[in-house]
Amino acid sequence: MIFTNFREIDGAGRIVISKDIRNHLNIKAGDMLHIEADNDCITIKKAEEKCIFCNSSENLKCLKGKFICSNCINALNN
């Protein structure tokens, strides 16, 4: 199913993602989004929540937009 919306950018540079799109993609407040710009196209996707080192999806922490699991954090600290 394709959803299409037209939105105005506010004075702070923000746009609102409609509730129907957020519900369809299961996006909740606080979720990370991946925003990519290429020429005249902007793509917004729900961030893939997997550890950048081992691809685990458990016990994740987000650091500067990247997900790292607790096991890899511990390994980096040792």
Q: For the chain of 78 residues, list the mean pLDDT of each consecutive stretch of 10.
A: 89 94 91 90 87 93 88 94
Predicted pLDDT at 68: 94
Which residue is it, tokens 């999806």?
A: 57
Inter-residue contact 64 to 54 (CB < 8 Å)? no
Predicted pLDDT at 62: 87
- Domain membership of residue 38 as a residue range: 1-47
Number of helices (H) and strands (E), helices first, in the chain?
2, 4
Question: 4 with 40, same domain?
Answer: yes
Question: 28 with 42, same domain?
Answer: yes
Question: 9 with 23, same domain?
Answer: yes
Question: 27 with 9, same domain?
Answer: yes
Distance CA 34, CA 12 (A): 19
pTM: 0.59
Question: 54 with 36, same domain?
Answer: no
Predicted pLDDT at 29: 92
Reference 24, options 48, 4, 51, 7; nearest CA is 4
